[in-house]
Structure 1
Amino acid sequence: MRAVRFLDGEFTVGEVPELPETGPGQVRIAVAACGICGSDLSVSKDACRFVEVAEAGGYPLAAFDTERPVVLGHEYAGVITELGAGVTDFAVGDRVAGIGLATDAATGIPTIIGYSNTYHGAFGEAIIVDACWVRAVPDDLRLDHATLAEPLHVGEMHVQQSGLTAADSALVIGCGTIGLGAVVAAKARGARMVIASEPSPRRRELATLMGADIVVDPTEQNPIEVWNALVADAGSVVGAAANGILIAYECSGRAGILNELTHQMPFNSRIQVLAAGFTAETITPVVPQFRRIAVNFGHGPYQDAYDITLRRLAAGSIDAEAIITARVDLGGVADAFATLRSPQDHVKIIVRPGLSAD
């Protein structure tokens, strides 16, 4: 099977060991398209640190041997070629996308495809995933567009977890794909005001396209000061604001941002962390306590976030083609990763291993 192997900071295209047998409850998928995720970029920058943090946090889904090659990629879409025992919801030939999880039959431990030396990711010709995480792609939705449901649904999930109501306002910090997903979700759920903060002009344009009411270049304006100016007479620092609160959706992963937010967010506000960094951060805990600021790293209920996002894509309420800024074949993966390390011109680059992505 042809795939892009990653080892010691280098990408090479070639043959890789065959996938395990398709186990009970699993499906094998011929890959049509796969997005390059921010987590994939983190692995490419420092795979050892990525695994170190995963293992220290007791998170087996992203632990692999960094001295052996891996095939990255989990934002997939493709066509089912084989069904494991007990799979009755799908048929060979179905067009599908979904969450890239596979459970090792020998250990019973799930893994994210791509962050495994055994279960290759979708920067290759085929993957095996647990069928319970797979969804049928509507006939009128292109497969490469369907790959966006995975990163965009993170925004929907966190907006639900944050408890946003129609009285609240959303501040989305960082407008990569996950941030754009938060803009879409906050707007769809009736946020009173959606402010997007993003230094890249192209991404600011996309935030406006996705529904943000106000878009700010943080190198020129402090977005929290922009919000404060809009609601200067609407609340008090002592009691809960009468007209809802401000919820910050941190999607940049920038070092130091959490400490800045705890000092600058209004009293009684919330911070929802979507894109957490891999380096140690320092905050002064008493500051958010003084200001009664809640910080949430992903706790709380949510429902059907992926399915909701897939339906939005199929309905055309999300302009998928605008988010996809480039497509590459397997031979273009290394250059795509290099480009995304300075993402002024790109948002989502799609890898196409060869199967038609229409």
Structure 2
Amino acid sequence: MRKILIFIFSLFFLILLTFSIQAEIRVGEFPQNIDDEYLQSPDNINVETWQQNLNVPWELVFLPESNRALVTERGGRVLEVIEGELQPESYLTIDIVSRGEGGLLGMAHHPDFSEHPYIYLMYTYTSDSGEQYNRVSRFKDQSTQAGEEEIIIDQIPAGNYHDGGRIAFGPDDMLYITTGDTFNREIAQDLNNLGGKILRLTPTGEIPEDNPFNNSPVYSLGHRNPQGLAWHPETGDLFISDHGPSGEDGLRAKDRVKVVEAGSNFGWPDKIGYFENSEYANPLIMWENAVPPSGMIFYQGYLYLGTLRSQSLVRISLKIENNNYSVKKIEHLFNDGRGDSIYGRIRTAVVGPDGYLYFLTNNRDGRGSPRENDDKILRFKLD
């Protein structure tokens, strides 16, 4: 009995020691000095339903020079929309792991789609050895279905939470990939680990010569769970969204929007928030209350973000002066700020070739309250 007690005490001591030697997260200031506004029924916005009765749609991609669009559902299906009509047969079904926040996530098309008709997908899977990973693959478009899989990058850390998942081609025709820390926060600072990063690859999966770290796909590090990618239409600067803590060191909320440069380190899990003269990059926005932001896009001079817990489409007005950004206004559309949301959880926003802004609801993801005919793809156009 005495040996058992000694063993239990020793184990408890080791656990305490492990937590004690891990530095606490330093919390900085909020970089913006304005209050959020809430507009449940914003003027001059008339929303219409484009598609409905979907199952957790995660990404929407319009294919160039065609009347076709593709939609990913987190459960593993890619759906095709032709001339606005959802097709009854799946364009592609992938054997994936769909637990928690994993599954079939981001999607993009090749920047020169007419010459290289490839669809890129990021998804979660279980390896032959039983390990769980995320990977990005591409599939050749064959009109009504996808061709064979070609893996672009593999063995990205995966978990039930914090999988990142957004992929997009930038104005430099390179593929950018957001990856999460899978609740193993220390990996976000490890350059030998693909988690908690923004990755950058060529369309064929090679490492670009001008990547900031030698022979590494890592473009930026120190992120927790980034789920949004957008490039400013005038400057070409990369904006990302990232989820704040949900219990680490007793911290919550503090979701962020960041402007990312090659090689920038945003400090997670060493710090979060704005620090003057910091060795780490600072966010542009950090919220006091949980948002958290997911996919985003620039549309008619504003940055639009789909948000989950705050159940609103956030519209951000920015000012650029001396190559620096400041925030003029943050508006939560379709929410009254007191818990009444018209559309619920919003996963992402996408601009269509028709000039509409499309946004996807995720009320059937296990954390929302489904409305009639959820999940939906909604849209509106600003004159």
Q: TM-score, normalised by structure 1?
A: 0.29
Higher helix share: 1
